[in-house]
Structure 1
């Protein structure tokens, strides 16, 4: 299974991201969608489910109605989605969560702690400072294991 992990589009849906969406079994967006049209385009292009949480710029409906956090299970892997990792309000290990996906910083980061993968895909929206345009693939293996694959677009 190939899960595309996005964050911080800030109203910009790049053509290369849309091409990746078409090849994903599922899409997870960690907030700061920016415009409802971005989410609508993801839903239209994705062959599988699209899940998104609200970021700090998602202040008007329908984006303000997105959940702050979301627990998704894909191929037996519990994935907790939120925008800002500083707002994590539970113990992933105790809750049986294998992956925590966040955004907000625009900085790609992949870290393993206590058997939990913490993944910030970076931002695929407007370039910020000298940070890369980045996202990630997540590959649940069907046995509870998972592999993250960061992807830099530019």
Structure 2
């Protein structure tokens, strides 16, 4: 079983609860709006990291990140981007098993046309009354996927 830790929208705040949740991940995905490059270093210290630029990652270090990328893990392809509205591919036709996004700050897991869509929510500063959250994607040896989100702070 491969565990991909999912985090998004840290906006410069990497909470200890998020770091604890990500421990034991084989890979980590940060789906944008990182806010501080130190966060990337902290995540890389836990596991190999895939990160994309969010709409607020405008500093030179942020502009160096891709807007979208793919990750191969456990024999499946994951598409990563910040804002789902900017998905420029047909994930099913491209052989993508899961699409990982952020931006909305709302944890969400859904299946569409045979593709798993996961938004782990926001792990950074609270926005409105939305929970502070993160997620995980579990990839079984046979390629089957399970996704979960966890509320880190109500």
State the TM bucket, normalised to the shorter chain.
over 0.9
Paired residue total: 152
Q: Which residue matches 1:4? A: 5
- After superposition, give the CA deviation of every residue in 1:23-43 in whole Å (9 maximum; x if it has no partner): 211100000000111111111
Q: Which residue matches 1:65? A: 64
Where in structure 2 are there 5+ consecutive unaligned residues? Answer: none
Name the CA distance, whole Å, in 2 between partners of 1:65 and 1:33: 13
More strand by share: 2
Q: Which residue matches 2:52? A: 53
Q: Which residue matches 2:29? A: 28
Quote the RMSD (CA, aligned, Å). Answer: 0.9
Name the CA distance, whole Å, in 2 between partners of 1:100 and 1:114: 12
Name the CA distance, whole Å, in 1 between partners of 2:86 and 2:22: 27
Where in structure 1 are there 5+ consecutive unaligned residues? Answer: none
With normalisation by structure 1, the TM-score equals 0.96
Name the CA distance, whole Å, in 2 between partners of 1:110 and 1:20: 18
Give SS of 2:5's match. strand
Q: Which residue matches 1:98? A: 97
Say whether 1:13 aligns with 2:17: no
